[in-house]
Amino acid sequence: MTAAAETASLGRIARVSLVGAGPGDPDLWTVGGVRRLQEADLVLYDALVDVDALRRVTRAQCFCVGKRARRDSVPQATIHRLMIRAARQGKRVVRLKGGDPFVFGRGGEEVLALAAAGVPFEIVPGVTTAVAAAELAGIPVTHRGMASAFLVMAGHTTDAVDRTLRSVQPNTVSMVILMGIGARGDLASRLMAHGWAADTPAAIACAASTPEAWTWTGALAELGAAAPPVGLAGVLIVGEVVKVREVLAEASRPKQAGNEVSYGRKG
Catalytic residue numbers, as ranges: 46, 67
Question: 3-class SS at 263?
Answer: strand
- Do residues 179 and 104 touch, judged by C-beta distance below 8 A? yes
- Do residues 60 and 68 touch, judged by C-beta distance below 8 A? no
What sign results for the dihedral spanned by CA atoms 37, 44, 102, 117?
A: negative
Q: In the 3-class helix/strand/coil scheme, how is 167-181 assigned residue by residue?
A: CCCCCCCEEEEECCC
**Whole-angstrom Cα distance, residue 141 to residue 174?**
6
Phi first, then psi, for residue 86 (nearest 5°) are -65, -40
Q: What residues are paired with 95 via a beta bridge?
A: 18, 44
Provide the 8-state DSSP code for 147. Answer: B
- Cβ neighbours of residue 247 closer than 8 Å, sequence gap 6 or more: 267
